[in-house]
Amino acid sequence: MTAAGEPVYAAAVCAGAAAWLTVGRERGLRRARLLLAGGAPVDSPPRWSWERLLPVVRLRQEWLCLPAALVLAVLGKSVLPLAAGAVAVPLVRRRLRDRERRREQERRAEGVIAFCGAVAAELRAGLQPGQALLLAARSTEALGGAEAAVLAAARFGGDVPEALRAAAGQPGADGLAGVAVCWRVAVDSGAGLAAGLDRLETALRAEWDQRQDLRARLAGAWSTVVLLSVLPLAGLAMGWALGADPFGVLLHTAGGLVCLVVGGLLEAAGLCWAVRIVRGGEET
């Protein structure tokens, strides 16, 4: 063997030893897991692949503002759209979070209605109040983050009304305060809990239907707000399609910049005003 081949041979020996030690270590780990599992089948360890080495990037909706701003920046040959897109990202993120929060609130409110009906049905089936509450909580999403405290109180004889009253502080879970009152009255005076929950479910269902009807009536107002927000962009696109240069005028002339700033402020003020009017109708 030549002296030049000695490093290659040594590297091959080291690589083989490392592979043998790795395989032996994996076998030892699998054997230990098998022994500790009491003979139960143990899943094989995950294998590395190129897909696992690549970073997983989840594109959120608010980041779509940047590609749109990049397109406008290329068309207008200016960095101002990019700056506006960067400013719009946190605003859109806040808007999306508010919408998700409202959806979660609606799901929890609907879950409270289903929770009342489920507890009443289990009580009529002959179960004790604590057992009925446990079964109803597993089948609905009414308790949210306070589910553990309420279930512990029901299972171990704690103060269930107080736990329900604490759970009612979550957004959309106001109806749980009524469940707590029904529970307290049934415990103190011996009144029928199922009957009280039926009346509570009826009242909550009527309020839910009224809220949905109001939302359907305000759908036209929301459509108007969306149309008002899109009209300036539609006007710019129409001017660009007709052969004009609206982006060049707005972004590269003094008068265009003044019109852009004033128009943007007026558009933002109009949208805020319209949204406030529609939101006021929803809250009423």
> Does one domain contain both 183 and 137?
yes
Domain that holds residue 180: 109-211
Q: Domain for residue 129, yes or no?
A: yes
Least confident stretch, 20-34, 123-137, 177-191: 20-34
> Does one domain contain both 163 and 117?
yes
Q: Tens of pLDDT along 241-265?
A: 888 888 888 888 888 889 888 988 8
pLDDT at 31: 45
Contact yes or no for 158/172 (Cβ under 8 A)? no
> Does one domain contain both 116 and 160?
yes
Domain boundary among 211, 240, 259: 211
Q: Tens of pLDDT along 192-215?
A: 888 888 898 899 999 888 888 888
Q: Domain for residue 123, yes or no?
A: yes
Euclidean distance between CA atoms 93 and 261, whole angstroms: 23
Q: Domain for residue 200, yes or no?
A: yes
> Does one domain contain both 185 and 270?
no
pLDDT at 56: 40
Q: Domain for residue 54, yes or no?
A: no
Contact yes or no for 122/131 (Cβ under 8 A)? yes
Q: Domain for residue 69, yes or no?
A: no
Domain boundary among 164, 186, 211: 211
CA 104 to chain centre: 8
> Does one domain contain both 200 and 223?
no
Q: Domain for residue 37, yes or no?
A: yes
pLDDT at 59: 52
How far apart, in Å, are the Cα atoms of 196 and each of 180, 183, 201, 202?
Answer: 11, 9, 9, 10
108 CB burial (10 A radius; 0-12, 13-18, 19+) = buried
> Does one domain contain both 202 and 158?
yes
Is pLDDT at 5 greater than 70 in this prediction?
no
> Does one domain contain both 123 and 158?
yes
Contact yes or no for 246/260 (Cβ under 8 A)? no
Q: Domain for residue 64, yes or no?
A: no
Res. 189 pLDDT band, cuts 50 70 90: low
> CB count, 10 Å around CB of 225?
16
> Does one domain contain both 252 and 203?
no
Domain boundary among 160, 186, 211: 211
Euclidean distance between CA atoms 221 and 223, whole angstroms: 5
pTM of the full predicted structure?
0.64
> Does one domain contain both 225 and 203?
no
Average pLDDT of every residue of the chain: 76
Contact yes or no for 252/78 (Cβ under 8 A)? yes
Between 178 and 8, the higher pLDDT residue: 178
Domain count of the fold of the chain: 3
> Does one domain contain both 241 and 262?
yes
Euclidean distance between CA atoms 193 and 185, whole angstroms: 8
Q: Tens of pLDDT along 18-73?
A: 444 444 444 444 444 433 434 444 444 444 444 444 444 445 777 887 888 888 78
pLDDT at 58: 44
> Does one domain contain both 267 and 246?
yes
Q: Which helix (H) or strand (E) holds 208?
A: helix 193-217
Q: Domain for residue 29, yes or no?
A: yes
Percent of the chain's residues with pLDDT above 90: 2
pLDDT at 62: 76
Vertex 69, ends 251 and 73: CA angle to 5°?
A: 40
> Does one domain contain both 159 and 227?
no
Tokens 């032996």 identify what position?
24
